[in-house]
Structure 1
Amino acid sequence: MVQQLVQGALSGAGSGLVIGRQRRREFRHDVPVARGRGVTAAAGEFGAELARAIRVGLAPSGPGPYGSRGPSELTWYAFAVAYARDHWVGRAATTRNETSEALALVTRAMLWDVPGRPGEDVLHRALRSWAFLGPGASEHDIPARDRLVLAWVAKASRPLVDFHDPVVARGVLEALRLRRDGSAAALETVRRKRKVLVNALYYAMEQGDLGSHPLKQVRWRVPKQARSVDPRSVINPLQAQNLLAALSYVGGYRRAKGRRLVGLFAGMYYAGLRPEEAVAVTLPDCTLPGTGWGRLVLHRTRPQAGKKWTDSGEFHDERGLKNRPPGEVRIVPLPPPLVAIWRDSVETFGTAQDGRLFFTERGNIVGYTIVHRVWKEARTLALPPELAATPLAKRPYDLRHSALSTWLAAGADPAEVAQRAGNSVEVLLTRYAKCLYDRQSINNQRIEHLLTAYDQPNEPDQAFK
C-alpha cells in the first residue's frame, strides 16, 4: 500500500516537476536530510506530499489524500483558468473582476524564469483581459499578440503542487503586498486578494488536486487594518451645505455637469446612501412631499464593474442590497432638505428612461470616474486651502461617513441608524461613531458653561438652600 502511494505521488508530479537535476536543485527538491528533523522538512517542496502519502498509507483506511489518481499534474495557470470559469455563474460582476485581478497577480508570481518573458504591462493586460473570463469567452476573440503571451504563460507556469514549498508560497504571499509599480498595496486590497487565493486553494482540495491547504504551513498574516473611520474625514452640516452648493459651479451652467449630481451627493449625505445605491434611485421608489419628510424604498444597486464582467454587457451590474438576501428592501427616511433638492432635480432635468433621478447628459448611469472628478473640483471650490490639504471629505464616500456620524451625534437610536444605513449595530458603532468636524468646540463650550456656572457666589439667603 505504501509503495503504491509513494509511486503514485512521484509519478503524478508530471512533466512540470520532472525538469532535470539542475532545476530541481534550484527549487529545493534536493535538500539533504537534516539531522533530527522529519521526512517533511528533509524532502523540501515535494517532500510534504510524499510524507503525507506515506502517513496515509500507514493508516488503517483511506486511499490517500488525492484518491486513486495521485497528485495533480495541473499547472497553476491551468487550474486558475478553470477556477475562474467554474466560479463565474451567479457571482457579482465586481466579484468576478476582483477574482481576475487576484488570479492574475498570483499567476505572475508563479512563473518560471524562462526565456521569452513578455513585458510586465503586456503580461498584465493579457492576463486581466482574457485569461480569467467566463464560460462564454471565445479564444478566437483574443488578439494574436495576447494569444502568444498566454501561450508563453501556459508553458512557464509552475505546477500547482509547488505551493507546498513554503518558499514558493511565501513568495506569492509577499507579491500580494505590492502594486505593479512596486509600491505597497492598501491593506484592504491585500486582504481581498489573499482571500481569493485561499478560496482557490480550498477548491483545489475539493477537486482532489491538492491533498491539504498549503498556506497553513506558512506563518503569514495581513496586518490588521483600522476599522474605524478617520474622524478627520468627517464634515459638519455647514461644510456639507457649502460642498453641495459648490457642485453647481462645476462644469459650466449649460452642460450642468455638477448640477446634475447635486442630488446624488446630497443623497449620500442626507440619507447615508452608498454610491452604488445613489445612482440606482428611481422616482417611483421615492415619496417626495411638498413639505416635511419623504421616503425611499431602496431595493437595488448598480455597482460599476466593466462590460466583460457583467452578464448584460453593460458597465454597471444590477444587484440587490449589499449583504442582504435577494429581494430584500430598505426603507430610508428622507429629511426635508434632501426632499427639496430631489424635487428640484426632477423639475430641472427630469428622469432617465428607467426612472433614475441621476444620469449623464446621454442618459447613462453615472460612472465612478465622473463622480470622483466632479467631487474633487467641488471640494477645491468649497474648502479653504488649509482644509483642502487635509483628509476632510476627500472621497465622495466620506459623505456617508459624515451622515451616519451626524445621526449618532444627534442622539439617534443606534439600532434605527443601523437600519437606515443598511449596517449592523456592531459595524455602526465600530466604524461610524465619530465626532463631526469641530464638534469638540461645541462640547468644550458646554463643559465650560457648566464649570463657570458655579463661579458666582451664592446669595446669603440662598447658601443653605
Structure 2
Amino acid sequence: MLLPESKRGEIPPEMARAVHWLESASLALTDLNDAKAVRLALDALALRLDGQAASANSVRRKRAVLHHVLEYAVELEELPSNPLHKIKWTPPKTTETVDPRMVINPRQAEELLTAVSYVGKRGRGRRLVALFACMYYAALRPGEAVALREQDCNLPATGWGRLLVDVSRPEVKTKWTDSGDAHEQRGLKHRGRDDVRPVPIPPALVKILRQHIKEFGIGSDGRIFHSERGGVIASTAYTEVWQEARTLAFTPAQVASPLARRPYDLRHAAVSLWLNAGVPAPDVAERAGHGVDVLLRVYAKCVDGQQEIANRRIDDALAA
C-alpha cells in the first residue's frame, strides 16, 4: 500500500478504506522540519503496539530505519537537512555482550550432543547431531551450518580438517525473499558477496561429519544437512530437538537457566572457549567471521581467568 502510485495496481475494495485512512492520517514530509513532530515519532517508536516499552534493540533498529528514510529525503532534496540531528533524544541502552550464563563447557557440549542423538523417532535427533556440532566446534551460525556442502569440507582420516564457508541460508519470512523460499541463499554476514571464510576444525568434528555423511548421505544439491525428504532443515525443527535435548542432558535448575537456551549459544560457547584458550583475537575473529573490535566487545564478559595472567605479566615487567 505504500508503493508509488504508478506501481500500486488495483486496490481491493476491502482495503480501500484503510488506505484512505493512512493517506489522511499521514503527515506531509515537510512537516518533519518541525522538531516537535520528529520527537513524537521517536517517542512512538520506543513503544510497542500495546503501549509498553519496546526492547532496546527494537528501538535501535527502528530509529536506524527512520534515520535512513530521512537521509534519503535529504538526498532527494525533499528536506534541507536530517531533522533527527536537531533532537537531543537518548535511546535506551542496548546489551551487546554475551551473557556468560549462556556458555557451556566442553563436557556439557558433549553431553548435549549425545542427548540430541536420543531425541525423536526415525533418527530425527541423530540427523541433527553434526549440525549442532558445527555450531560448537566451528562456531558456524545456524544459517551457515544449514548451507554447508560436501565440497566445502576437507575431512581427512586423521588430524584437523577445514571448512570453507561462503554462503548462508538464514531463515526469514518468504515475503522478504526474492525467490519466495524461506531459506534463500545469501553471502556471509558482514562480508562481500564472494568472500570465503576458512575455518579449521578439530578431529572431533571431522569424525562427526564423516559419520554423518556415511549414515545420511548428501542432498541432491550437495548439502550435508537435509531433512528426511531432502529439504532444508527448518529452524523450528532443530530448535524443538534442542529444547528436548536440554531436558535430557541438564538438571531441572539448568533447564530453567539461560545455559545453552538456544542452538545459537553453541557458537557463543565456541568463541568463548577459543578466547579463554589463549587463541589470539584476530585469529578467533577470522574463524568466527567477526571484526576484532566486535569480537572483543561482544565476548568481553566471557573471557575468564585472564586477570591473573595480566597481573603476573605486570609483576614481571615491574621487576625487570
Name the TM-score class by shorter chain: 0.7 to 0.9
- 1:418: which partner in 2? 285
- Which of residues 128, 142, 145 in structure 2 aligns to 1:278? 145
Report 1:111-122 matches (<5 A): none
Letter in 2 for 1:375: W
The answer on 1:376 being equivalent to 2:243 is: yes
Offset from partner CA, 1:90-134 (integer Å, 9 cap, x none): xxxxxxxxxxxxxxxxxxxxxxxxxxxxxxxxxxxxxxxxxxxxx
Displacement, 1:401?
0.8
Match of 1:244 among 92, 113, 118: 113
Deviations along 1:347-392, one digit per CA (max 9) or x if unpaired, are: 1211211111112222222222223322222222211111111111
Q: Which residue of 2 aligns with 1:184?
A: 53
Structure 1 distance, partners of 2:60, 2:293, is: 21
CA distance in 2, matches of 1:415, 1:377: 36
CA distance in 2, matches of 1:249, 1:183: 42
Matches within 5 A, 1:214-229: 214-229=83-98
After superposition, residues 14-413 of structure 1 pair within 5 angstroms as 81-82=3-4, 139-140=9-10, 144-252=13-121, 254=122, 256-413=123-280
SS at match of 2:163: strand
How far is 1:399 from its partner? 0.8
Distance in 1 (CA, whole Å) between partners of 2:44 and 2:119 is 41
Distance in 2, matches of 1:433 and 1:173, equals 31
- Paired amino acid for 2:289: G
Compared CA separation, residues 149 and 429, structure 1 to 2 (3 A): same
The equivalent of 1:119 in structure 2 is none
Find the counterpart in structure 1 of residue 315 from structure 2.
none
Larger radius of gyration: 1
Structure 2 partner of 1:100: none
In the TM superposition, what is the alpha-carbon distance from 1:300 to its structure 2 partner?
0.8
Distance, in Å, in 2 between the alignment partners of 1:144 and 1:258 is: 49
Q: 1:247 to 1:151 in 2, by over 3 A?
A: farther
TM-score by length of 1: 0.62
CA displacement, residues 145-174 of structure 1 (integer Å, 9 cap, x when unaligned):
344423332233222222233332222212
Contact 2:59 2:92 in 1 (8 A): no
Q: CA deviation at 1:144?
A: 4.5
In 1, the alpha carbon distance for the partners of 2:39 and 2:86 equals: 10
Q: How much has 1:400 moved relative to structure 2? A: 0.7
Return the structure number with greater relative CO, CA threshold 8 A, min gap 6: 2
Q: d(CA) in 2 for partners of 1:153 and 1:415?
A: 50
Q: SS state of the match for residue 235, structure 1?
A: coil
Worse-superposed segment, 329-338 or 242-251: 242-251
Contact 1:243/1:378 (<8 A) preserved = yes
Q: What letter corresponds to residue 174 of structure 1 in structure 2?
A: D
| Cα shift at 1:435 | 4.1
Instruction: Give unpaired runs (5+ residues) of structure 1.
Output: 1-76, 86-134, 445-465
**2:68 counterpart letter in structure 1:** N
Task: Give per-residue Cα distances to partners, 1:316-340, cap 9 Å, x unaligned.
Answer: 2221111112211111111111111
Give the Cα–Cα distance (whole angstroms) in 2 for the partners of residues 187 and 289 of structure 1: 46
TM superposition shift of 1:229? 1.2
Distance in 2 between residues matched to 1:337 and 1:144, nearest whole Å = 61
Cα distance in structure 1, aligned partners of 2:84 and 2:158: 59
How large is the Cα RMSD of the aligned pairs? 2.4
Amino acid in structure 2 at the alignment position of 1:149: A
Is contact 2:152-2:163 (8 Å) kept? yes
> What amino acid is aligned across from residue 258 of structure 1 in structure 2?
G
| Residue in structure 2 matched with residue 43 of structure 1 by the alignment | none
| Unpaired stretches in structure 2, ≥5 consecutive residues | 309-320
For residues 196-252 of structure 1, give each alpha carbon's deviation from its aligned partner in whole angstroms, at most 9, with x where no partner exists.
110001111111221221222221122232332111111100111111111122222
Q: Is the 8 A contact 1:234 1:401 kept in 2?
A: yes
Change beyond 3 A, Cα 1:226–1:307 = closer
Q: Contact between 2:33 and 2:79, CA under 8 Å: does it hold in 1? A: no
Which amino acid counterpart does residue 35 of structure 2 have in structure 1? P
Cα displacement (A) at 1:143 = 5.4
User: So what's the TM-score if we normalise by structure 2?
Assistant: 0.88
Mapped contact 2:166–2:187 kept (Cα < 8 A): yes
Is the Cα contact below 8 Å between 2:174 and 2:182 reproduced in 1? yes
Q: Which residue of 2 aligns with 1:37?
A: none
Q: Percent identity?
A: 51
In 2, the alpha carbon distance for the partners of 1:383 and 1:291 equals: 32
Whether the 8 Å contact between 1:286 and 1:297 is mirrored in structure 2 is yes
